A and B are shown apart, each in its own frame.
Chain A
Amino acid sequence: MTTLFPENSLSARQSASFILAKRKPPIDKTEWNSFFDENGYLAKSRDFICVNILERGLHPGVRTEAWKFLTGYYSWQSSQDERLTVDSTRRKNYEALCQMYEKIQPLLENLHQNFTKTQNNIACDIQKLYDKDPLGNILVDKKRLEKILLLSYVCNPQAEYQQGFHEMVMLFQLMVEHDHETFWLFQFFLQKTENSCVITIGVGKNLDMLSRLIAILDPTFAEHLKGKGAGAVQALFPWFCLCFQHAFKSFDDVWRLWEAPTPPPQVLLTGKPCRNLQVLVAYSMLQMVREQVLLEGMSGDAILLACNNLIDLDADELISAACMVYAELFQKDVPQPLKEFFL
């Protein structure tokens, strides 16, 4: 097992190869429980757990609980009893929000111009949402999902509602049992990832950092993207808006990426190997089309088409590639803004 510190590019490399080797299975319930003492206090360091999550991933059975720690829904310092209290408080708070919402809804409909519009957008997105598994079984309760999204829109004036949230929240809904858990996990996720997926807040910064990253690590490609391939990078905003949800073949892969480093999402949640891994992930994805782009001298539109075809990816491979990019980056002389962004 490697100990991972952001400044240590060697350990990032080790993590990268560790992920690919899959020497150890994902953390299961028994192992997860062994991280805590008899009172439910953490017996291992938070770093130890996060590195393990990054390198090995979580078994679906422990995901719900682990995510509560990763997002900040539970404190890492809490005991089992405290967590029970936290859960009950969160449930009550959620119910209070629901009641408040019911009271003010008529007012919002009459006075708030954007409310009805957003309400329609949400209804429309939910209606279109593909909610079945490969066998055609219904996976989620759309009514409940709609309610959570509306509440989130009203209660979170920073993020408001953005198309795509419905798909993200669906993934939270699939992971947990109760609505209050879905609601709060999503709120904490947004907070923990510094609204990295919100187009009006974090996405622009991600794109800017992605361009800078390419300029440092791959000047030839950067040159092409400034010339003939202009506009391609800016057009990749959906990757960030959806936290790469459409790039993977399974929900498990999406969760795996999100839980990997939690400053921005779970690999976007553990904060390992660094902050803002999503930009390294995007860089790694662009590298997948790089050869073809340069060989064929692709235009911005053609690059976008090629990137749009990056689907059914494997989360382990992508996280591993992102760790390698990180390792490479920190062997270079990195300008301060980029350093601050990733450290």
Chain B
Amino acid sequence: MAETYDFLFKFLVIGSAGTGKSCLLHQFIENKFKQDSNHTIGVEFGSRVVNVGGKTVKLQIWDTAGQERFRSVTRSYYRGAAGALLVYDITSRETYNSLAAWLTDARTLASPNIVVILCGNKKDLDPEREVTFLEASRFAQENELMFLETSALTGENVEEAFLKCARTILNKIDSGELDPERMGSGIQYGDASLRQLRQPRSAQAVTPQPCGC
């Protein structure tokens, strides 16, 4: 069954173990909090078609393992990602401290142009907060990231995080900053007919990739 959409974006959800990555994904896909979930060993997938700025975009989301010992093996999943949610837990300084390392991985392994949104998750646990909003905002600014505090439990800002990231990618495509036809851009066109309507950027013929997932 073919879904119709204009673009497909590959998204990553990365960050330390226990920050709530899978719950964010679940909240976004199912609109509810996942009380019992299996941990992620390799990668779990989720996808949802969203409307952003008049375009239909299928987000194919790769939720990766957070435990340190899986880090080297999950790096292979980064290839060709267009966007990423970089997640820490506002009640755990340790997860915040490791952000830089995750970010480096994303930029070197996925693409230097990857659009990253920083998510301070577990916003609902404010009394146990160890990382202030201001501090994380500074980190985001210094590293050219967008930033939101989210709660996978209540759903606050979860949708916004994914959509904001998708919107930024679309803007970059429109401005020509991102080229969907470049190998490993993490962006695919939705279907052949739509592809035909567009003015090819390069002389080279590019086969549109139908997505059957």
Residues of B within 8 A of A105 (CB): none
- Pick the contact of A308: B10, B17, B43 (CB < 8 A): B43
Residue of B nearest to A237 (CB): B73
- Pick the contact of B67: A132, A162, A300, A308 (CB < 8 A): A162
- Pick the contact of B38: A128, A241, A300 (CB < 8 A): A128
Q: List 10 A-B contacts (CB under 8 A).
A: A128-B37, A129-B39, A132-B36, A163-B41, A231-B76, A234-B73, A235-B76, A237-B73, A302-B212, A304-B77
Residue of A nearest to B81 (CB): A301
B43 contacts A296, C-beta separation under 8 Å? no
Residue of A nearest to B186 (CB): A301
Q: Does B14 contact A (CB under 8 A)?
A: no
Given the known inter-chain contacts A199-B69, A235-B76, A305-B45, please indicate yes or no for A163 contacting B39, CB distance below 8 A. yes
Instruction: Convert A167-189 into 0s and 1s, putting 1 for each residue whose CB lies closer than 8 angstroms to a CB of B.
Output: 10000000000000000000000
Residue of A nearest to B35 (CB): A128
Using a CB–CB cutoff of 8 Å, the interface residues on chain B facing chain A are 10, 17-18, 22, 36-45, 65, 67, 69-70, 73, 76-77, 79-80, 94, 212-213
- Pick the contact of A164: B10, B41, B43, B77 (CB < 8 A): B41
A131 contacts B36, C-beta separation under 8 Å? yes
B17 contacts A124, C-beta separation under 8 Å? yes
CB proximity to B under 8 Å, residues A234-273: 234-238, 241-242, 246
Of the candidates A131, A163, A237, the one having the most CB atoms from chain B within 10 angstroms of its own CB is A163
- Pick the contact of B76: A124, A132, A199, A234 (CB < 8 A): A234
A119 to chain B, nearest CB (A): 11
In Å, the complex CA distance between A164 and B39 comes to: 7
A209 to chain B, nearest CB (A): 16
A278 to chain B, nearest CB (A): 15
B18 contacts A120, C-beta separation under 8 Å? yes
Interface range for A: 20 to 34
Q: Does A130 contact B (CB under 8 A)?
A: yes
B79 contacts A125, C-beta separation under 8 Å? no
Q: Does A158 contact B (CB under 8 A)?
A: no
**Apart from A242-B41, A300-B79, A304-B77: 14 A-B pairs, beta carbons within 8 A:** A121-B67, A124-B17, A163-B40, A164-B41, A167-B38, A167-B39, A199-B73, A203-B73, A235-B77, A237-B42, A238-B41, A246-B38, A302-B212, A308-B43
Instruction: Return the 6 tightest CB-CB contacts between A and B, nearest first.
Output: A238-B42, A124-B18, A130-B36, A238-B41, A163-B67, A163-B39
CB proximity to B under 8 Å, residues A108-146: 117, 120-121, 124-125, 128-132
Residues of A within 8 A of B18 (CB): 120-121, 124
A304 contacts B43, C-beta separation under 8 Å? yes
Q: Does A166 contact B (CB under 8 A)?
A: yes
Given the known inter-chain contacts A124-B18, A130-B36, A235-B77, please indicate yes or no for A241 contacting B41, CB distance below 8 A. yes
Residues of A within 8 A of B65 (CB): 163
B3 to chain A, nearest CB (A): 15
Residues of A within 8 A of B43 (CB): 235, 238, 304, 308
Q: Does A85 contact B (CB under 8 A)?
A: no
In Å, the complex CA distance between A301 and B40 comes to: 17
Given the known inter-chain contacts A128-B36, A199-B69, A301-B80, please indicate yes or no for A117 contacting B42, CB distance below 8 A. no
In Å, the complex CA distance between A121 and B43 comes to: 17
B42 contacts A302, C-beta separation under 8 Å? no
Q: Does A200 contact B (CB under 8 A)?
A: yes
Residue of A nearest to B68 (CB): A117
Residues of B within 8 A of A302 (CB): 212-213
B167 to chain A, nearest CB (A): 24
Residue of B nearest to A117 (CB): B94
A114 to chain B, nearest CB (A): 9
CB proximity to B under 8 Å, residues A301-315: 301-302, 304-305, 308
Residues of B within 8 A of A231 (CB): 76, 79
Residue of B nearest to A292 (CB): B212
Residues of A within 8 A of B69 (CB): 162, 199-200
Of the candidates B65, B73, B80, the one having the most CB atoms from chain A within 10 angstroms of its own CB is B73
Residues of A within 8 A of B17 (CB): 121, 124, 163
Residue of A nearest to B209 (CB): A299
Residue of A nearest to B212 (CB): A296
B213 contacts A128, C-beta separation under 8 Å? no
B73 contacts A129, C-beta separation under 8 Å? no
A166 contacts B39, C-beta separation under 8 Å? yes
Residues of B within 8 A of A241 (CB): 41-42
Given the known inter-chain contacts A238-B42, A304-B43, please indicate yes or no for A199 contacting B70, CB distance below 8 A. yes
B42 contacts A235, C-beta separation under 8 Å? yes
Of the candidates B40, B41, B44, the one having the most CB atoms from chain A within 10 angstroms of its own CB is B41
